Amino acid sequence: MKISIIQSNPAWEDKQVNFRKLEDLITPLYNKTDIVILPEMFNTGFSMNPENLCEPFNAETFIWMSGIARKANFGVCGSYIVKEKNHYYNRWVFVSPEKQTWFYDKRHLFSIAGEDKIFSKGQNKLIFNFRGVRISPYICYDLRFPVWCRNRNDYDLMINSANWPESRISVWNTLLKARAIENQCYVAGANRIGTDGEGIKYCGDSMIINPRGEMMALANTNEESIISGEISMTELSDFRKKFPVINDADNFKIDL
């Protein structure tokens, strides 16, 4: 399977501008990859203004994603603000070319920025199968919580869509590699660049990492770009058989 990450510089709280920018970036990937991964809140930037930016799950942004997936013959994923039953969610959505849909609501809300006061946290972990690869998605701050991300031999690819600030980018780099090593899985981390409407700076460092913690692809710092990598289920299976770390893992109870 080939996976690709779009490292973008989203316009602040302007969906239409972001859709057009992303279409320009995505077009070269038509029929050339299996999954395109977008950052957290790719259509607005990391905004605490859900009243004006939220939408129903299957509305404007979902329709845009579905159209891209259908035309380009790949799955598209990333998070955006959804309103459901008077609750706001930072929701990661995956849409296939056949319009199969999976979603995950961010579990660990970034309380330092007040995200937990505005958004409702997710209650369920997600694992789904797309084109023979078991995928488990997470959003930004989730990366800091290894128990929640723990692989119980039930997924092969971890995806993290993020708006991870430049001031803590060394943490991003370290934790992505750690999650790949400890979970014996491929990891794809999609981050943004630029400065958002709150003055927070982002430098990117989007990357794809193999189960040994080795870099397969790394985006240029502070540059809108696309990175891609081929992941192999055969190689992953062979590695897990030769070095079966997961068999010795602890069992954790997650308190929901």
In the chain, where the domains are located: 2-248
What's the one-letter identity of residue 134?
Answer: R
Answer yes or no: are the C-beta atoms of 100 and 77 closer than 8 Å.
no
pLDDT score, position 249: 85
* pTM summary value: 0.97
Q: Spell out the residues 6+ positions from residue 227 whose beta carbon is closer than 8 angstroms to its own.
A: 4, 5, 7, 206, 207, 208, 217, 218, 219
Task: Calculate what percentage of the chain has a pLDDT beyond 70.
Answer: 99
Return the SS3 of 42. coil
Sheet containing 75-84: which strands, arranged edge to edge?
A: 101-105, 87-95, 75-84, 35-37, 2-7, 225-230
Chain mean pLDDT for the chain: 97
114 burial type by CB count under 10 A (0-12 exposed, 13-18 middle, 19+ buried): exposed
pLDDT tens, position by position, 127-172 = 999 999 999 999 999 999 999 999 999 999 999 999 999 999 999 9
CATH architecture designation of domain 2-248: 4-Layer Sandwich (3.60)
Average pLDDT over residues 22-50: 98
Average pLDDT over residues 112-140: 97
CA distance 37 to 123: 23
Candidate list 54, 140, 185, 203, residue with the active-site label: 140
Catalytic annotation on 106? yes
Average pLDDT over residues 111-125: 96
In this structure, the strands spanning 201-203 and 225-230 are unpaired
Dig out the tokens for 200 from the structure: 């927070």
Answer yes or no: are the C-beta atoms of 36 and 75 closer than 8 Å.
yes
Residue 123 in this model has a pLDDT that exceeds 70: yes
Apex 110 CA angle, 56 and 229, nearest 5 = 75
Q: What is the DSSP letter of 55?
A: B
Candidate list 40, 77, 177, 185, residue with the active-site label: 40
pLDDT score, position 165: 98
Average pLDDT over residues 29-58: 98
Residue 203 in this model has a pLDDT that exceeds 70: yes
pLDDT tens, position by position, 227-255 = 999 999 999 999 999 999 988 888 877 66
pLDDT score, position 256: 61
10 burial type by CB count under 10 A (0-12 exposed, 13-18 middle, 19+ buried): buried
pLDDT score, position 252: 74
Catalytic annotation on 140? yes
CA nearest neighbour of 205 among 168, 173, 233: 173
Dig out the tokens for 101 from the structure: 């849909």
Average pLDDT over residues 21-40: 97
Apex 246 CA angle, 244 and 251, nearest 5 = 150
pLDDT score, position 125: 96
Length of the chain: 256
Candidate list 15, 21, 106, 125, residue with the active-site label: 106
Catalytic annotation on 85? no
